[in-house]
Structure 1
């Protein structure tokens, strides 16, 4: 029996392709943590009104329940990904889990808006610490190839399921018990992970012996925080607000400064050689579209179910249960697809399926049958989304040594967080423009549908265009080198059909 690697070459099965009991235990531990962190991202979305009422939030401050999590989660992820490489992934993962436990306790027993936001911000910072550390522990525990693809396939499945389940779980807990349980439900899982992880997890390879690039860390963290805050503020203030414009300009300035600092730093936080890799660059570009467009479209369809079809919030959340099942199927199938046709074709296929699923939502209208269109089209889109999530993660972390996996997984995690932050306000602005009414003016149902149709069209075109760009321009140097040399390596059962050199001739075997 044979299997294809990332570069598309055929290799015979070996014992290294089979998971051991230790591998299974590592998977359960790390994927359980990742799933919990994904749930935390969305679990309070439906509970926000209840929290505001109980704790006395002003209406203008409610957005901070979400933004307070997103700012540190996106802004500090790249920094902590590199810290994991420098000072140890297991220690950072455990520190993140402990902080998550403390922050969840603070949020669960909050008696004031300030206390609640402190807990929520702590959860975001814990996510920035634990997620890239967990991902790099995962990629270094499983060698590049079939085992890593399977591990990342399960990870993508649980991440997508966690985001989807978070909203449903938040609605159930808020309606049946209290919003406080959305925080407190973390505590038993955190305790279990902290007790088991030191006995199971270990850092592989040697840590990098270098200093932390402080100027680079300040620039990139400040730039990302400014970017996330600026984008988040658009939901309340609009894109023309001076604060929004100032934050986006500041973000661009700091990120450009970060690039030039990295070019000259003797100990760069993110070596430019890594940032220039086609796998890293194109993988993360695709990741932003893979993650950002479906989450934003689901937000638009939630409004459609409630504002047009008059569904209750809890029913709207439960209506997307089918998309979770489709996402699980896409995530589980992704490793096999990658093994059969390679990472790049799998990513292009996933983006195409995602785009076509979103495109189907253009047919929703005021008819009650719209619910069936939403259920079907969103399920198709989420199937492609989950497959794309696995594909881009495999690509973005491929071809890098263990000592740079923290950086690579930090970047892929950062792409997810930025995409989740960026997608919803961008498509919301498109939808508002499509209604043809000014901000603050109540639109008719027909105008609302026009705006939703335009936002859906943008989401579909973005997905399909990203797939076309990856297909046309993504060229991996590592893949090309593998295609030219792998047929000489031990264990390969057949040569590629005709691996050309840069001069167009077949290389001569030594």
Structure 2
């Protein structure tokens, strides 16, 4: 991994270099021990991704209560989640590159400040429109915060054993955010749905203060950075339209003029972005980064994996809540073994990847999804906790724990420090778009109705996505390409 050319910057009163490179030197490639500052740093990075998952899953559970109090239709209420996903997925790539160009800690602090302020606005919203707007702005803030946090992780912890260990911990928080959010959101919504907008405020402020106090200042840049405005606008418009089109397919259908037109226009915008990047003097994104086939395959894999995972949760919700009449917090308890599995396995993933290699750990995770989804094909009129649901939950946790961390490690390997934000944005964008796409495909496969047999086509689609994800491991990536700019 190449080092940033920027000079070290001193923290006032510390007497020691505080750049990410200096932080990395505290541990070395093979050191088993981290300093207290490095532990705090990984907790800050992981806390950002936990907050993202926590925020969105709490809102999912609270939608019925919000609809009732604000008089929202079902079509309007779904944008409480859709607006967040739209902004999050749309801004991730731009957010990651902006963090590379203008300072990762700076972007993270500003994003956390915006997250706290907009959460406060959501607490006092008295109509659907301002609440949905606040959700879009929070998604935008998350779209800048997530790649900034992830690229800070990859530039703080050197490639190899230390980064593997860091991603294992990061993955624990990522998975815990969503699973715990369902349970916490159900409890808070039972008191008052506005509490779900209160909780992120102290968490985001705590992360903001922690970043200012414990993360090293952004190193000075060798020259003034210019933003490729044309590239930024076409990339942002293309990504927003692509995510919006995918999210809207559940309502409009895959063959509607609106859907086909959305895909065509988003493709045109992204093609225009590529043309701009090939001709502009200082491109927003160096297109040569896509010659790293390992990065490309990791993005494909994570998109397919998360598409199946989102579809699995959707089908499980239909089965337990619509057909069985369970409450959301009861479904969260079914997924609790998955979350506990991630928490138990995650901290040791770094050691496993060091010993057996990233590819073998990833293969174990991807294979675990197959029996999980096969078990779900056995669901019957009465929930079978002990031989179907709970074993499937544990297998899903194993698959998620092993796969996501390994894909993140693979997707950031061999990428230069100055492009780690871009790599993080790419991976997170693939995850979000893949999740939305998988959910839309599964939704389209399920025949409208409430009979159990109508869920089976959706389960078969999820199983097919798992098989496709596994097949990506047989794509030859060849030797790692050089990471120097063209």
TM-score by length of structure 2 reads 0.88
Residue 302 of structure 1 is matched in structure 2 by 317
Report the Cα offset of residue 373 of structure 1.
Answer: 0.7
Q: Deviations over 1:320-369 (max 9, x none)?
A: 11111122234334323321222223223321212332222111111332
Q: Which residue of 1 aligns with 2:381?
A: 366
Give the distance between the partners of 2:301 and 2:152, measured in 1 at CA: 23
Aligned to 2:328: 313
**Range with bigger deviation, 398-407 or 213-222:** 213-222
Query: 2:97 aligned with 1:94, yes or no?
Result: no
Q: Does 1:469 align with 2:483?
A: no
Structure 2 CA distance for aligned equivalents of residues 109 and 231 of structure 1: 31
- Paired position in structure 2 for 1:453: 456
Deviation (angstroms), 1:17: 4.3
Aligned to 1:497: none
**1:256-335 to 2 correspondence within 5 Å?**
256-335=271-350
4+ residue runs of structure 1 moved beyond 6 angstroms?
none
Distance in 2 (CA, whole Å) between partners of 1:136 and 1:155 is 12
Quote the Cα distance in structure 2 between the aligned partners of 1:173 and 1:16.
Answer: 43
Equivalent residue in structure 1 for 2:442, among 403, 406, 427? 427
Q: Which has the larger radius of gyration?
A: 1
Taking the aligned partners of 1:14 and 1:256, their CA distance within structure 2 comes to 40
Structure-1 residue corresponding to 2:359: 344
Which residue, out of 174, 178, 197, partners 1:183? 197
Between the two proteins, the alignment pairs up a number of residues equal to 454
- Return the alpha-carbon distance in structure 2 between the equivalents of residues 122 and 319 of structure 1: 32
CA deviation after TM superposition for structure 1 residue 41, in Å: 2.1
Task: For 1:375 and 1:342, locate their aligned partners in 2 and report how far apart those are by CA, in whole Å.
Answer: 29
Residues 310-319 or 295-304, more deviating: 310-319
Matching residue of 1:380: 395
Q: Equivalences for 1:234-245 in 2 at 5 Å?
A: 234-245=249-260
Structural mapping, 1:191-230, within 5 Å: 191-203=205-217, 207=221, 209=223, 210-230=225-245
Deviation at 1:92, TM superposition (A): 0.5
Q: Deviations over 1:371-394 (max 9, x none)?
A: 741221132022111211101100
User: 1:109 aligned to 2:136?
Assistant: no
Tell me the C-alpha RMSD between the 2 structures: 2.0
User: Residue 98 of structure 2 aligns with which residue?
Assistant: 83
Partners of 1:368 and 1:122 lie apart in 2 by 39
Q: Quote the offset at 1:104 in angstroms.
A: 0.4
Return the alpha-carbon distance in structure 2 between the equivalents of residues 116 and 14 of structure 1: 46
* Alignment partners' CA distance in 2, 1:275 and 1:142: 23
Maintained 8 Å contact 1:343/1:395:
yes
Contact 2:105–2:218, Cα closer than 8 Å, also in 1: no
Map of 1:494 onto structure 2? none
Cα distance in structure 2, aligned partners of 1:178 and 1:78: 35
- Alignment of 1:397 with 2:412, yes or no, is yes
CA 1:414 to 1:454, structure 2 compared with 1: closer, same or farther past 3 Å? same
Within 1, Cα distance between the matches of 2:230 and 2:109? 26
Task: Show structure 1 runs of 5+ residues with no match.
Answer: 1-12, 433-438, 480-510
CA contact (8 A) 1:291 1:389 kept: no
Deviates more, 1:129-138 or 1:331-340: 331-340
Task: Note if contact 1:93-1:130 (Cα within 8 Å) is conserved in structure 2.
Answer: yes
Distance 2:374 2:347 in 1: 24
- 1:348·1:468 contact (CA, 8 Å) conserved in 2? no
